[in-house]
Structure 1
Amino acid sequence: MSRQEKQQDNVPQKISSSLLDNLVYLRKQFDGSMDFIIRQFNIEGTKAALITIDNLIDKQTIAESILNPIRRAKLSHLNGMEKMKEIRDNILTTVDQEQMVEFDSLLTKLMSGFAMLAIDGCDFMISIGVQSFAYRSISEPSNEVVQRGSRESFVEPYVINISMIRRRMKTPKLKFERMQIQSESKTDVCLCYLRDKVSPQILKQLKNNISKIKLETVMASGYIAPFIERRGLFNGVGVSERPDTVCGKISEGRIAIIVDGTPNVLIVPHLFIENFQTFDDYATRPFFATFTRWLKVFAFFLSIFLPGFYVACGTFHPEFLPQVLLTKVVQAQAETPFSLMIECIMIHIIYEILREAGLRVPKPLGHAVSIVGGLVIGEAAVQSGLVGPPTLMVIALTAISSYVVPSLYEQTAILRLIFIIIGGTLGFWGITLGFCAILISLCSESIYKIPFSAPLSPFHLRSMRDVAIRASWKLLRKDVEKIQDMPGSNVKKK
């Protein structure tokens, strides 16, 4: 198709009063597609048509709410335009109806499961909501598993996700705003926020970012995430599959982005410290929630720095290791052909290969591939003298630690590899410089004019009740702190 033809197709055309012309245009658009259905019939001597997309509609609803009432109506004394208005106002029993005057919006509605009623002599059509399509039933969350709390997770149709949020927040201040990404897929995006909590400045900037997205297709929320966050190693956009978690974020002034076809909801703004907070923290006893929160922080740093520290000690700084442990490392190193750095890199890559294989193979085989593959390859590598037992233990410990904070797994996997190389070439000095670089990057970044490292930097003492510890609900403020009120925020107040 030439560029001129594409431009002509993109121009919204007005619906004609000629039924034949309208049907010819629609047939040309769908070009003989098997699921495009036109049912032509007469209404008291006037030609009419019902236009639908098969498998997106409820045929029983069409028969009971559209065709049967029209057949029973007495409309012989009316012309085409009058018949359409009478059907629209007094005959159709469906709730979701809209008058369509342009083909551009009509096609979008049609491919969203609406039926189009057209009558000869009428220069508009009526879209009728008769959607019915197959979708996955609501199930337990697979990634954000909790011991206490809801067992519901989002599904692919965004209208169902909207109802799950609305059911939990019964307030008229909760607003849903639909947008559509300009792409071939015309994917619907819904912004969800509380009118009295959200920052108008953040909302305006987010809408502007979404409106500028130009992609051929949008099949998942991950397609649009890079367009609405700042560039950096760590994510400035949160992701959740739990309705209760999303409701909690919305109550703090954040904005949830629901993308049709994706069982995950994006949340902006997202701060670094939120990666260590889970729903279970607020459903368990405060002392245990505080313990697990610090455990996550420790596991995060362990998963990044332990292999690099091990390589640096064995290569440049053996005095930092206890004598017994140093002897074990030296003995293991003497029996292997590679340096500590090469050993760690090799085991790290093998582990990532096993993990990826476990994710991609059929589910019944995934656990077997990961467990059996890890045991067999690990044992064979040690027995053959390719790697030493201490190296295998260090990489295994860091791999397990990285799953304690799953939202940061991508970052920890890359940083771990970087610090292994730095530790094997520059020692502790390189690790210290690398840590400072990460710290500077975290403290200098902002997401929608809110410091990404808040409330740690700039430091806010009162916020430590839900950061350094998880205080009792009796001590936490009854009014939830808004995200735009974080220290260091440059967001304009209402």
Structure 2
Amino acid sequence: MVKKEKGKVGSSFQENIEYMNQVLPVGESFDVLRRDIIIGGRQASFYFINGFMKDETMQKIMASFLGVKDREMPKDATSFSQKYISYDSVDIISNFDQVIKNVLSGITCLFIEGYEVCIAIDCRTYPARSVEEPEKDKSLHGSRDGFVETIVCNTAMIRRRIRDPHLIMEMVEAGNTTRTDIAICYMSDRVDEELLKNIESRINQLQIDDLRMNQQTLAEEMFKRKWFNPFPKFKFTERPDTAVACLLEGKVVILVDNSPSAMILPTSILDMIEEANDYYFPTVTGVYLKFTRVLITILTMFLTPTFMLFMQNPGWLPDIFSFVAVKDTINIPLIFQFLILELSIDGLRLAALNTPSMLSTPLSVIAGLVMGEFSVQSGWFNAEVMLYMAFVAVANYTQPNFELGYALKFMRLLLLILTACLNLPGFIIGCILILCFLAFNKTLSGRNYLNVKLR
């Protein structure tokens, strides 16, 4: 095996090619290609990935080199790239580790006999889907574009909206195997320097083999969460306008290649509940929408436990609210009715994810009729329980953060079980625990959900 001292490109063209052939699966993997040509009477070899390089582009590059005469060949690679390579992004690389990374990233690497370096020509084209509005985070007004899986396209959508030299986008990588590109975006004149240094330090110190789940793996490795606290520590968005608004507020946005969403830091409970419509409407309307979302979020967590508490203590109900009491026979204890329905709703949600779109609507209607009508008539559930769980199931969709929705669900289950077991003391203990989960949920920025600095 050819050994290269300190991984540097050598003066021997043959040794360089042998080393590249040993490291790269040329001939074994159909998409890793090597193309040999003669440039100015010298041997030359291209290394590139089939799929990142269009045939027309490769033909234009080779055609421009075939016309070079022997006497016209420059003495060094820098002069050659300046004179004969018309592409804007050209780099001279002397380290084999960087050469291998560039080839596997889709960049065309050229070795020429007599040059002790490699010429990297960035003329790659990544396969990408069209830019469209995210399904989960829609707005009635504003732009209709959304992030895609290509990081360069995502940074371009941000740069299009902020034409300011203070917008900085640092490119780093993580994962010894995947070597995934990560862009740290911030406004240099508005960002919290301490937070920025903390984020950069954590990413640079990552000791991880791969980012198999892209952004989620990065989030887990950057900040080890406590398993018993389900509240999310990061805010994600697929909308470029939301990411830009956060940048202008002095926050840091992290983009990961192959992920169509942006990670926003720092965050709080109010940031999690916000959505784009809050800003595209007039101030009064936006405040009303935000207040409504907060109120409904609180109701989804406390409605069913409070109903359980009053059903265990019917004498506490004021006469004006006596109509909410369960009138029919209770065949199954209320706590088990609530728990069964919580699991059933998640089961229906999972079934909807795996149901073909053309069948999802009729199957949802059938499931709703069966669970809503016949489950009450059969005596499994009481009508009041079905009503309140239906409200909770629908109200969960009023806030855009999926992970926060499940965190609220777990808090609701905790409060339900404690109330059923301990009555009023259990309800009070559950409320205190929920407040503690919020107050002590420390995030990467050193601040908790209540935006109080934790030392």
1:216-255 residue pairs with structure 2 within 5 A?
216-218=209-211, 219-229=213-223, 231=225, 232-255=229-252
Q: Which residue among 65, 77, 82 is the counterpart of 1:70?
A: 65
CA-CA distance at 1:450 after TM superposition: 4.7
SS in 2 for 1:372: helix
Aligned twin of 1:421:
417
Count of aligned pairs between the two proteins: 447
TM-score by length of 1: 0.84
Aligned twin of 1:348:
342
String of CA shifts for 1:457-477, please: whole Å, max 9, x gaps.
x5xxxxxxxxxxxxxxxxxxx
Aligned twin of 2:16:
22
Q: Which amino acid aligns with 1:360?
A: N
Q: Which amino acid aligns with 1:175?
A: I
CA-CA distance at 1:13 after TM superposition: 1.9
Q: Does 1:123 align with 2:142?
A: no
Aligned twin of 1:141:
134
Cα contact 1:220–1:261 (8 A) shared by 2: yes
Q: Which amino acid aligns with 2:420?
A: G
Q: Which residue among 280, 292, 295 is the counterpart of 2:292?
A: 295
Aligned twin of 1:263:
260
Q: Which amino acid aligns with 2:261?
A: N
Aligned twin of 1:171:
164
* Pair 1:401–1:348, CA change in 2 (3 A): same
1:281-360 residue pairs with structure 2 within 5 A?
281-314=278-311, 316-321=312-317, 329-334=325-330, 336=331, 338-360=332-354
* Pair 1:367–1:187, CA change in 2 (3 A): farther
SS in 2 for 1:274: helix
Q: Does 1:372 align with 2:369?
A: no
String of CA shifts for 1:102-126, please: whole Å, max 9, x gaps.
2211111111111111112322110
CA-CA distance at 1:67 after TM superposition: 1.3
String of CA shifts for 1:209-249, please: whole Å, max 9, x gaps.
11233333214211111233463432221111111111111
String of CA shifts for 1:318-347, please: whole Å, max 9, x gaps.
12335697677544343x2x1000011001
- Please provide the CA RMSD for this pair: 2.5
Q: Which amino acid aligns with 1:282?
A: Y
Aligned twin of 2:276:
279
Q: Does 1:190 align with 2:183?
A: yes
Q: Does 1:203 align with 2:196?
A: yes
Distance, in Å, in 1 between the alignment partners of 2:203 and 2:36 is 40
String of CA shifts for 1:178-233, please: whole Å, max 9, x gaps.
01003311100000000011122111111111123333321421111123346343
Distance, in Å, in 2 between the alignment partners of 1:264 and 1:126 is 33
Distance, in Å, in 2 between the alignment partners of 1:241 and 1:25 is 42
Range 138-147 or range 23-32, more displaced: 23-32
CA-CA distance at 1:285 after TM superposition: 2.2
* Pair 1:38–1:133, CA change in 2 (3 A): same
> Percent identity of the aligned residues?
25
Cα contact 1:296–1:404 (8 A) shared by 2: yes
Q: Which amino acid aligns with 2:64?
A: P
CA-CA distance at 1:87 after TM superposition: 2.2
Distance, in Å, in 2 between the alignment partners of 1:191 and 1:331 is 58
1:328-477 residue pairs with structure 2 within 5 A?
329-334=325-330, 336=331, 338-407=332-401, 408-454=404-450
Unaligned runs of at least 5 residues, structure 1? 459-487
TM-score by length of 2: 0.91
Q: Which amino acid aligns with 1:371?
A: V
Distance, in Å, in 2 between the alignment partners of 1:379 and 1:10 is 75
SS in 1 for 2:152: helix
SS in 2 for 1:190: strand
Cα contact 1:230–1:236 (8 A) shared by 2: no
SS in 1 for 2:70: coil
Q: Which amino acid aligns with 2:292?
A: L
Distance, in Å, in 2 between the alignment partners of 1:161 and 1:284 is 25
String of CA shifts for 1:88-109, please: whole Å, max 9, x gaps.
1211001111111122111111
String of CA shifts for 1:290-335, please: whole Å, max 9, x gaps.
2221111111111111111122222x2112335697677544343x
Q: Which amino acid aligns with 1:279?
A: A
String of CA shifts for 1:23-68, please: whole Å, max 9, x gaps.
222222233111111111112331111111100112322222x212
Q: Which amino acid aligns with 2:391?
A: L
CA-CA distance at 1:384 after TM superposition: 1.5
* Pair 1:380–1:195, CA change in 2 (3 A): same
Unaligned runs of at least 5 residues, structure 2? none
Range 18-27 or range 110-119, more displaced: 18-27
* Pair 1:344–1:333, CA change in 2 (3 A): farther
Distance, in Å, in 2 between the alignment partners of 1:372 and 1:280 is 32
CA-CA distance at 1:370 after TM superposition: 3.2
CA-CA distance at 1:389 after TM superposition: 1.0
Cα contact 1:357–1:369 (8 A) shared by 2: no
SS in 2 for 1:275: helix
Q: Which amino acid aligns with 2:114?
A: G
Aligned twin of 1:51:
47
Cα contact 1:355–1:370 (8 A) shared by 2: no
Cα contact 1:308–1:422 (8 A) shared by 2: no
CA-CA distance at 1:489 after TM superposition: 8.0
Distance, in Å, in 2 between the alignment partners of 1:212 and 1:94 is 34
Q: Which amino acid aligns with 1:176?
A: M
SS in 1 for 2:109: strand
Q: Does 1:93 align with 2:86?
A: yes
Aligned twin of 1:39:
35
* Pair 1:121–1:439, CA change in 2 (3 A): same
CA-CA distance at 1:289 after TM superposition: 1.8
Cα contact 2:40–2:71 (8 A) shared by 1: yes
String of CA shifts for 1:341-386, please: whole Å, max 9, x gaps.
0011001100110011112333333344333223223323212211
Cα contact 2:33–2:48 (8 A) shared by 1: yes
